[in-house]
């Protein structure tokens, strides 16, 4: 690893983290392909924005239902063993979907069912992932690790949808699901060979552990409001991602255009992530967090107008800009949470935070229903307005967020991570 890169992103200085990050690139890329493939397959089978919303609900509700317990499991058991099981199940379900699609017998309800099962497993998988990687680095490398993990998601959001759109046009969605299964199989191979000492907390029953995690968040204002804003921005603003196949149809973009729209959101996030990860958190961290949330929402009004015009290239531009602004909010907020959460509560708190990513498809259900009734532009504008109202109330009533200062997160003495 070149010294210049390690200097900017010190988490890359740890061999175990590098190995984890490389494998995660494959599994996260697989996840992006699955999102693309399922959305396009459902819309081709039914042509309904509401069915896309139901797909979002199928990908969200099971995840929300088990994430609390998934966090407790991540604290009670070896996270590595949990991830071996969940990663193997992901690969198996995707191979099944590829087979159903390839043979031509696939139906919308089958896609919903497999999406629901994947979401159920993710409710256990995600807290374990979020709990494991901080133990591969030292505390003073946390910002770079969070930024690099975010880069995984954002760069694959940039690359995979564009690639996936081409693959769908050339072959069909079955190839997308097959390649995604291969990505998870490689992640499984790396996890099996990973060796790391992990803390386990079993002083309470599972239900008591869940209650302790919830109580910690509710009694800690920074955690309570950052997680609440994370939920809100995904539910009201970024739910539009769930309806991207319908938006691509409105814009006359086709399969490749659909992939490029998703890639545009990834490009913006990559740019935002690289800028944030390369610079230390400063005095006005709270302003950066709240400002990023505000700007990402305002930009979505522009995207909504592009659907009305319609303008495909205008939509690409606003999608890119909105994602760049969102990165300033999401990455810095998650860094604060990872640095401040006690190790013994990490799995539970990160399990609750993991519900953030289920809010987007769940919000897609509401947005899809609204879109069928009042149209894409009006529905998206109304949803964004609801978020801005929430953001305004929180900003005016919670000065603790404005006082966040990145300089106060001082590194502890190095431990044994390597």
- CB under 8 Å to 76, separation ≥6 — which residues? 200, 201, 202, 206, 209, 347
Buried b / exposed e over 63-98, threshold 16 CB at 10 Å, is bbebbbbbbbbbbbeebeebbbebbbbbbebbbebb
**Angular region, 391: left φ>0, alpha ψ -120 to 50, beta rest:** alpha
pLDDT at position 275 is: 72
Range of the domain at 130: 9-193+205-408
Let me know if residue 290 belongs to a domain. yes
CATH number, position 352: 1.20.1250.20
Output the DSSP codes for 122-147: HHHHHHHHHHHGGGGS-GGGHHHHHH
Domain membership of residue 416 (yes or no) is no
Predicted pLDDT at 226? 92
Residue 187, in any domain of the structure: yes
In total, how many domains does the chain have?
A: 1
Asked if omega into 310 is within 30° of 0 (cis), the reply is yes
Convert 325-349 to b/e letters by CB count within 10 Å (16 or more is b).
bbbbbbbbbbbbbbbebeeebbbbb
Written as tens digits, the pLDDT of the chain (418 aa) is: 667 777 777 778 888 888 888 899 999 999 989 988 998 899 889 888 788 878 888 888 888 778 777 777 877 778 888 999 999 999 999 999 999 999 999 999 999 999 999 999 988 888 888 778 777 777 777 777 877 877 787 778 778 877 888 888 888 889 999 999 999 999 999 888 887 766 565 556 667 777 888 888 899 888 999 999 999 999 999 889 888 888 988 998 877 888 888 888 888 887 887 777 555 556 778 888 898 899 999 999 999 999 998 899 999 999 999 988 888 888 888 878 877 888 777 777 877 887 887 788 788 888 988 988 899 999 999 999 999 999 999 999 988 888 887 656 543 333 333 3
Do the domain assignments include residue 4?
Answer: no
With respect to residue 116, please indicate whether it lies within any of the assigned structural domains.
Answer: yes
Position 407 scores a pLDDT of 59
Tell me whether residue 34 is in a domain: yes
Question: Looking at residue 417, what is its pLDDT?
Answer: 38
Measured CA to CA, the distance from residue 372 to residue 409 in angstroms comes to: 47
Answer yes or no: is 231 within a domain: yes
Confidence (pLDDT) at 268: 86
Residue 418 lies in a domain: no
């Amino acid at each position: 690893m070149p010294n210049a890169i390690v200097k900017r992103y010190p988490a890359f200085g740890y061999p175990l983290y590098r190995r984890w990050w490389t494998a995660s690139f494959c599994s996260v890329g697989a996840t992006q392909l699955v999102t693309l493939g399922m959305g396009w397959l459902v819309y081709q089978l039914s042509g309904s924005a509401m069915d896309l919303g139901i797909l979002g609900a199928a990908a969200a509700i099971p995840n929300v239902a088990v994430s609390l317990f998934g966090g407790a499991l991540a604290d009670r058991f070896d996270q590595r063993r949990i991830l071996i099981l969940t990663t193997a199940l992901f690969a198996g379900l995707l191979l099944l979907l590829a087979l159903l699609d390839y043979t031509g017998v696939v139906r919308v309800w089958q896609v919903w069912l497999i999406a629901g099962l994947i979401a159920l497993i993710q409710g256990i998988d995600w807290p374990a992932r979020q709990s494991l990687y901080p133990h591969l680095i030292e505390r003073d490398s946390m910002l770079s690790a969070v930024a690099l993990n975010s880069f995984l998601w954002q760069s694959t959001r940039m690359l995979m949808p564009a690639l996936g759109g081409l693959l769908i046009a050339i072959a069909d969605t079955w190839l997308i699901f097959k390649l995604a299964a291969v990505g998870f199989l490689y992640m499984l191979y790396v996890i099996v060979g990973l060796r790391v000492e992990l803390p386990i907390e079993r002083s309470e029953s599972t239900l008591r552990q869940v209650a302790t995690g919830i109580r910690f968040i509710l009694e800690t204002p920074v955690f309570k409001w950052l997680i609440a804003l994370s939920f809100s921005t995904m539910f009201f603003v970024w739910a539009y991602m769930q309806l991207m196949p319908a938006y691509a149809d409105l814009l006359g973009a086709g399969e490749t255009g659909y992939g490029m729209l998703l890639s545009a959101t990834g490009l913006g996030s990559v740019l935002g992530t690289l800028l944030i990860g390369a610079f230390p958190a400063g005095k006005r961290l709270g302003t950066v967090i709240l400002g990023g949330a505000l700007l990402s929402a305002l930009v979505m009004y522009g995207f909504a107008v592009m659907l009305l015009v319609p303008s495909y290239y205008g939509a690409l531009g606003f999608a890119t800009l909105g994602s760049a602004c969102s990165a300033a909010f999401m990455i810095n907020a998650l860094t604060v949470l990872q640095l401040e959460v006690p190790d013994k509560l990490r799995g539970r708190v990160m399990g609750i935070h993991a519900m953030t990513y289920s809010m987007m498809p769940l919000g897609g259900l509401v947005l899809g229903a609204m879109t069928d009734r009042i149209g894409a532009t009006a529905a998206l504008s109304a949803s964004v307005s609801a978020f801005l109202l929430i953001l305004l109330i929180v900003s005016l009533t919670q000065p603790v967020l404005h006082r966040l200062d990145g300089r106060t997160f001082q590194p502890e003495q190095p431990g044994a991570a390597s």
